[in-house]
Structure 1
Amino acid sequence: MEESEGKIYIDGIDISTIGVYDIRSRITIIPQDPILFTGTLRSNLDVFSTYQDHEILESLRRVHLLPSDEIVQIDSSLEDNFKIFSNLETSVSEGGKNFSQGQRQLLCLARALLRRSKIIIMDEATASIDFVMDEKIQKMIRTEFEDCTVLCIAHRLRTVIDYDRILVIDQGKIIEFDSPHNLIMNSESLFHKLCQNSDEYDMLKSLALTNKE
């Protein structure tokens, strides 16, 4: 889709002047409604047959769809829960409907880990994952994508509280753009009010302060 106005620059390059393939091959988008294709786990994670099996399985471990060896040894009952993901030939039905919404989102994250794009765009990428798993995934994102530019659309305040900058949008208009610390410490900011109205205000404030330090 062509832009209606303005320009988008990445590393000083106007993206309207280069091919669509060049853009798509260098940016990874993880949507709220995760996209999987009819085929196998392998064909969904490694679309162009670029990676070795051990690399694909490692990406599944990093998003907690497979346990680490230590976990399996400690609690063998967990093995059955993850067995389906240890076989890369496991069938994926149309749209990935044989997996839960949360599992599909984690598979898309695993695919992003393999691609190692420098720009990651996440649109409510963990919306269907419970808080405990979301916290683990957010820690993984901060570690694995440390050298990437991550643009994250999120409604969970905890998800973005330690990002470098937060853009607050209300009814389609930009309201605020600043660091989480500056926004939460400003009692007049909309972000501060959102945090204050949540049940996690003290924790969010602590995390924002820790990240600043």
Structure 2
Amino acid sequence: MSCTVQWLGIRIEFIGNCIVLFAALFAVTGKENLNPGLVGLSVSYALQVTMSLNWMVRMTSDLENNIVAVERVKEYSETQTEAAWEVEDKKPHADWPMKGNVEFHDYSVRYREGLDLVLKNLTLSVKGGEKIGIVGRTGAGKSSMTLCLFRLLEAAEGEISIDGVKISEIGLHDLRSKLTIIPQEPVLFSGTLRMNLDPFEKYTDEEVWKALEYSHLHKFVSNQPAKLEMECSEGGENLSVGQRQLVCLARALLRKTTILILDEATAAIDLETDDLIQSTIRTQFEDCTVFTIAHRLNTIMDYTRVLVLDKGQIAEFDTPASLISQRGLFYGMAKDAGLVQ
């Protein structure tokens, strides 16, 4: 910022000095009958040009900033709002979903009107309790598929059903409160550790400590003087990336919903922490339906099935052993990762 101000100041001073120079030159080389009063007036006004230029640049910048604010307000006022938070006549049962069956019926989606489809005609059925690994090259539509489950992206065509309930017909709160995601970038807020784990204070301290034990954070939190009241700085900057990810895992363990989504949750952490998370998921979410966007293929080799996406379409969908025997796209990825010969 300081360099920019100095850069601008030098150029404005240069322009102002050039105007003063030319005003003086024209006065000297002008006609002999030039009025001395006019010469003095022109030079004195030329000396004030630098100040006027500074004022003009400042006013122009303020005008542009204010216009941008107006443009943003206009854009937000025209942006289509999300669907209803709750739909009274379409509220699912309190225990929904019981099994965790997920079905995509000829499902297509785009990020906004006018753009190409990022998912094209997906049709698949996942039974409750299955562990599904989602793999594919960059831009294949893996994260977009998980966003659709939360209805962060609305369908262009087709529909998604969970335990026979079409998610497009129910309220967003009723849907999102029944799903759990462990994101790639761990999300923590300024406040106590307990607030980050249980922001709505639905669980007892005993349940919170049990979740910390399952997420391998019990020893770390026990050694803190404030225990559960330990302060987390903004974004959890006083915790390591691995610890932040384990806090997100503990949060998921507390909620224990029927459907769990892992969006490359272990991409930014070390192999040891990755193994801890995967072992906990296998034991504590044994009866849950799990969708895992895999960063390391070895973490999904024992999953029920693997979904291979390519350019927004289903390229392969079968057990890991079957896909490797077919020697298709998944086989090529596994070979690149050194998992097969």
In the alignment, which of 118, 123, 144 is matched to residue 263 of structure 2? Answer: 123
Partner of 2:330: 191
Take 1:194 and 1:3, find their aligned partners in 2: how far apart are those partners? 30
**1:66·1:86 contact (CA, 8 Å) conserved in 2?**
no
Report 1:82-97 matches (<5 A): 83-84=223-224, 87-97=227-237
Give the stretch that moved more between structures: 170-179 or 140-149.
Answer: 170-179
Give the structure-2-normalised TM-score: 0.52
Letter aligned with residue 195 of structure 2:
S
- Is the 1:60–1:66 contact (alpha carbons within 8 Å) kept by the matching residues of 2? yes
1:112, 1:95 → 2: CA distance? Answer: 18
Q: Hey, what does 1:48 align to over in structure 2?
A: 200
The alpha-carbon deviation at position 10 of structure 1 amounts to: 0.3
Task: Classify 1:145/1:158 alpha carbon distance in 2 versus 1 (closer, same or farther; 3 Å).
Answer: same
- Tell me the equivalent position of 1:200: 339
1:58 matched to 2:210:
yes
- The aligned counterpart of 1:137 is 277
* Alpha-carbon distance between aligned partners in 2 of 1:12 and 1:86, rounded to the nearest angstrom: 46
**What residue in structure 2 maps to residue 15 of structure 1?**
167
Q: How much has 1:82 moved relative to structure 2?
A: 6.1
TM-score relative to the length of structure 1 = 0.82
Is 1:148 the equivalent of 2:300? no
| Structure whose alpha-carbon radius of gyration is higher | 2
**TM superposition shift of 1:39:** 1.0
Out of 149, 154, 174, which is 2:314 matched to? Answer: 174
Structure 1 residue 184, shift from structure 2 partner: 1.5
Superimposed CA distance per residue, residues 105-151 of structure 1 (whole angstroms, 9 cap, x where no aligned partner): 11111000000100101101122222122123211101100111101
Identity of aligned residues (%): 53
Question: Relative to 1, partners in 2 of residues 1:86 and 1:135: Cα closer, same or farther, differing over 3 Å?
Answer: farther
Residues 1:3 and 2:155 aligned together: yes
Task: Give, as a single letter, the amino acid of the residue that structure 2 aligns with 1:123.
Answer: D
Contact 1:166–1:178, Cα closer than 8 Å, also in 2: yes
| Cα displacement (A) at 1:54 | 2.0
Secondary structure class of the residue paired with 2:315: strand
Give distance in 2, aligned partners of 1:186 and 1:14: 34
C-alpha distance in structure 2 between counterparts of 1:24 and 1:47, whole Å: 16
1:62-105 deviation line (CA, Å, top 9, x unaligned)? 111224xxxxxxxxxxx7x9623971101112222222222111
Match of 1:162? 302
| 1:103 partnered with 2:243 | yes
Task: State the distance in 1 between where 2:225 and 2:330 align.
Answer: 39
Aligned residues: 189
Alpha-carbon offset, residue 5 of structure 1: 2.0
The AA in structure 2 aligned to 1:84 is Q
C-alpha distance 32-179 of structure 1, shift in aligned 2 (>3 A):
same
